Amino acid sequence: MQNLWNDTEAEAIVAAHAANGVGRDLALRVYTTRLLGGVPQLVLHGGGNTSVKTRAVDLVGDEYDVLCVKGSGWDMATIAPAGLPAVKLAPLLKARAFDRLSDKDMVTLQRANLIDPDGPNPSVETLLHAFLPAKFVDHTHSTAVLAVVDQAESRRLAREAFGDRIGFVDYVMPGFALAKQAAAVFDQDPSVEALILDKHGIFTFGASAREAYDRMIDYVTRAEEFVARRGVRKTARRPLPASLATPDAIAPMLRGAIAVDRGEGRFDRMVSEFRTSPAILDFVAAPDLEDLATRGVSTPDLSIRIKTGPLVLAPPDAADLAGYGADIRARVAAFADGYRAYFNENAARSPDTLTMLDPMPRLTLVPGLGLFGHGRSVKEAKIAADIGEIWIETVADAEAIGAFRPVERPDLFDLEYWSLEQAKLASIKTLPFSGQVVIVTGGAGAIGAATAKAFAGRGAHVAVADLDEGKAAAVAKSIGNAAIGVGCDVTDPASVRALFDRTVAAFGGVDIVVSNAGAAFEGPIATLDDAVLRRSFELNFFAHQSVAQNAVRIMKLQGTGGVLLFNASKQAVNPGASFGAYGLPKAATLFLSRQYALEHGKDGIRVNAVNADRIRSGLLSDAMIANRSSARGLSEKDYMAGNLLGQEVRAEDVALAFVHQALSERTTGGLDTVDGGNIAAAPR
């Protein structure tokens, strides 16, 4: 492994932090922590931890020996000084004399001795860092090290790989017991440069930040060289169908199968992240893939991300997608049943009453294609996929030098349902549309952009579609939450199909579609050019049909229902003079919405429409507002507030109507009016 230490960079970091009152010790601790955190083969997404023993002053000016240790929730790759809270060292060292210390009391002890009471919770491995006397201590979950210790004969292999300057610590769950045991191993030979934690990872330490870091790189390199020297790669490969289905073809079926069914048509959905590479494809081609997947995770803390390990699917045959969908559901059901059995068997050992987490997989391996990570957000799905890639690397290396044998399931359960880890999960907020995917057409317009923002703000991942791809991308960037902008001509069925395919590729499926794109066409109906009317029908009716067809196609593959919403406009129920070219297709679109509601209620798909009027947008431009208000002898303000409430209706009000319809679980075939009150336009 490459040593990334750079004297010039290190001194620059020290100087930069000194300007903010941060001392040299802590600045160098930040520097090497980031070096370690930037390498996925060492740590991923909050894993690992580091510390430095130094001096700090509290709020009243008293100075203490402290341990600055990585705080819970901080990522080593981007850590700042605030992510290494200072804890008074003396009370931590006194705790070593205890025979036992509960997790709750351990956390209380650590928080009670924070120099800054508002600091983050110190790492669950704080006591281990404290009990080791070295000034700097580093801890990673190196894939190469795990390949050596995820073995039946891990102690022997560790000696062969690392030599005699290491201490070997038998597996113990993180916390007080591990800290005591690791310190005892160190005391037996204080000359060791590293501690190898069976089934867990590696600690290195030193008098300086560079010494601890150099040792980490040295011992990880030894592990890599040992695997390269001793490894024998398996060459057998399972057969694949003559024609493989694409990831996009199977993603909606998989996403629907892993949705948690809450009953009465309610589902907790997840999004998916697909990955493939030569290394992934090589691994998932193994004939014993199912067996490898059931053995567990490469280091126990991964259980909070990917549970007991991955789900394995069969190679997808493009010639029988319907049969493959049924097989996906059967395999997901078997995985969930296995997880329930795992929970029931192990929960009986706990003195506490435990509540089972949902039993669905967070990582799926597909021979011939690659892997899918799953989560309630794009971030979670990407984390699961990242971990999947590292899990594959570890298992492949472990199998090359022996047989992958990670921690046993009872120990895995103890960490997955550990109160300290559960507390982290409990802090994650769930919004109304978390895990759901929304497409909004006409997304760069006033109503479309407001609608996209409203859904994204409530947890949805949104595909903003517009004829102007640049504007769609700008709206997506502005609303955040991993939204994507997609160029789409809704009057072109191929372009609409590409929009849905792009959305499936990004998120795994589609749950809510707001068919909003449209434009106004004017002219007296009796003298209207047929070409104008036909263009209007293409955009204001047939485009909605094309969008709806694709929405239903994906939603039926998922099997979890869905929501299809149309912007019908006031013209659908209350025609205006010279607006027949616009109102006629809009009236047909309103009927279209009810036809879909009628025919697809059995599929759990709810279909509704919004009837909005006088909304500042591309349809009702500032110039048009000025012209109409002048013709009526009104000010622009009075014209826009010409309704029963006497208030201008904005695009955000229409967006809220779409959100309301998406949340209304028992409403379909409906029409909501958003116009401030206009009796003439009220449906009769």
24 burial via Cβ count (<10 Å: 0-12, 13-18, 19+): middle
Angle at 660 between CA 579 and CA 469, to 5 degrees: 60
What count of other Cβ atoms lies within 10 Å of the Cβ of residue 439? 31
DSSP 449-475: HHHHHHHHTTT-EEEEEESSHHHHHHH
Which DSSP helix (H) or strand (E) runs through 394? helix 378-401
Q: b/e for 637-666, b at 16 or more Cβ within 10 A?
A: eebbbbbeeeebbbbebbbbbbbebbeeee
Cβ atoms 285, 294 nearer than 8 A: no
Helix axes 493-507, 543-558, angle to 10 degrees: 30
Q: Tokens standing for 338?
A: 């296995």
How many Å apart are CA 675 and CA 528, to the nearest integer?
A: 28
Contact yes or no for 546/490 (Cβ under 8 A): yes
**φ and ψ at 416, to 5 degrees?**
-60, -35
Q: Where are the beta strands (DSSP E) in 244-324?
A: 260-263, 266-268, 271-275, 311-312
Residues 6 or more apart whose CB falls under 8 angstroms from that of 465 comprise: 439, 440, 441, 442, 443, 472, 485, 486, 487, 488, 490, 499, 517
- Cα separation, 486 vs 467, whole angstroms: 8
| CA 438/CA 160 separation, integer angstroms | 54
Residues 6+ apart with CB under 8 A from 135: 25, 52, 53, 54, 206, 207, 208
Hey, is 272 helix, strand or coil? strand
Catalytic residues, which ones? 569, 582, 586
Q: Where are the alpha helices (DSSP H) in 24-175?
A: 24-37, 89-94, 103-112, 126-131, 143-149, 154-162
Spatial CA neighbour of 253 closest among 337, 341, 317: 317
Closest CA to 10 of 211, 154, 268, 210: 210
